[in-house]
Each structure stands twice: as structure tokens, then as C-alpha cells.
Amino acid sequence: MPSTFQALAVALLALLPGALYELAREQRSGRWGLRGADQVFGLLAFSVVFQVAIAPLTYWLYARYVVTGHFRVGRPVSGWLWALLCAYLVVPFVFGRFTALGHRYRSGQLASTWERAVVRLVNLYTDAAPAPRAWDYLFSDRSRKGWIILHLKDGSRVGGAWNGSYAAGYPDDQDLYLSRQVALTADGRFRLGDDGQPHRRESGLLIRWNEVQYLDFYDT
């Protein structure tokens, strides 16, 4: 009969795949989607599905190493067992990364057949539009480049380059860092240089979204 400590250890081990999946996904796609109790339910759901998928292997290992007393008498184990233990950690983590990759492809132009296939597969088990705000949808694609004009609430305008810049994501307060400001004309248009591109200033810009009325984004 397992002790309370053993039962707790088994429960934590069973939930580990879901925790690794969520960790890997959030590291790449942001802390979107389920929060609080809903996130716990999602973690549990992934762990249950994962345990069901590997149940035949789990049963075989239990019969092979536990029921026979293999561990109790200290017999050596196959090297494949250590590989399976590593896979138990790696597979959920990789699956979380794959889900985040699908989210990133979904916010882009889906140029290749591979990207479209990844998005279709990820759409089978995630929300079709996981970004909680239009802000997050616009700025989640790190490969996107463009020019921004911010229309401030005081009536002024500020221009900047979206290239090497950063926007805070959900659930944090919305603020925006533009790596380079660009010069604007009196009527709010980009002031162009000799190369036909907006003239860049030497300074960047950090601004809170509550200071902005709306923005114009021009993809390049």
C-alpha cells in the first residue's frame, strides 16, 4: 500500500507533462489563453491525455520493473529506461514549443506549405485566435517589421520604427518601446531621407498605451 508521500510523488509525476507543456508554450507565445482555474484545468487535461497515450508503456514498465521486484533487489536496468525517462520530460516540452510555433505562424502570412500544415494541426486543439487583445495580435509576430505613427491624446504625433522594438504582452500593462524614433512633418507624415525611407533619429521611445489615442502601422 503506497504511503501518502509516495502517492503525492506519483501525482506530481503524473502532472509534470502538463506543467512542462504550459511552460514551453508560454515561453514562446506569451502568457495568453487560460488563466487561474482554467489554466489548471488545461494543465490537467494535457497531463491526462499524455498519460492515456503512454498507458500501455507505463503498464509494461510497471509489470517489468515493479511487480517483479526488479528495483527492490537492486538489479541493473536497461539504458533504454533512462532514455524513456528523458523522453517523458522532453516530449511535452517540445509539444509546447510546437504549439507556440503554430501561434507564431498563425499571426504571419503563412508563406510555406509547412507553416500552413503546422497552423492547421495546432488549430485542432487550441483556440483559433488565441491572442486576447488586438494589441497582442499585432505585436506578437517578432519577425514583423514596419513603421508606426502614434496619435497621442494631447493631439501630437510620434513616429517610430518597429524593428528591434518591444511591446508588453498580456496580462501586463500595455507599454511600447520603439528602438528608433522617426521624424514627422507638420501634417503628421513621415519625413523621408535621401534614400526614400523615413528619417531616423538617434533616440528611441518608451511610452504607455494610456497616453495614445490610436496608432497607424505600416508594414514593410
β-pair partners for 124:
none
96-152 pLDDT, tens per residue? 999 888 877 776 666 678 888 888 888 888 766 666 677 877 887 777 889 999 999
Number of domains present in the structure of the chain: 2
State the pLDDT at residue 135: 82
* Residue 55 in grid coordinates: 498507458
Asked if residue 139 and residue 118 are part of one domain, the reply reads: no
Asked if residue 145 and residue 116 are part of one domain, the reply reads: no
β-pair partners for 212:
152
Asked if residue 116 and residue 31 are part of one domain, the reply reads: yes
Asked if residue 45 and residue 14 are part of one domain, the reply reads: yes
Asked if residue 160 and residue 105 are part of one domain, the reply reads: no
* DSSP 8-state secondary structure symbol assigned to residue 168: -
Quick one: which H or E segment has residue 45?
helix 36-53
Could you list the residue range(s) of the whole structural domain that residue 143 is in?
134-219
62-105 pLDDT, tens per residue? 888 888 888 777 788 888 889 999 999 999 999 999 988 887 77
Asked if residue 89 and residue 38 are part of one domain, the reply reads: yes
31-40 pLDDT, tens per residue? 655 555 667 7
Please give the Cα distance from 181 to 42 (Å, whole number): 41
Asked if residue 138 and residue 83 are part of one domain, the reply reads: no
Q: Give the chain's mean pLDDT.
A: 84
Asked if residue 16 and residue 119 are part of one domain, the reply reads: yes
**For the whole model, what pTM was predicted?**
0.65
The burial class, CB within 10 Å (0-12 / 13-18 / 19+), for 186 is: exposed
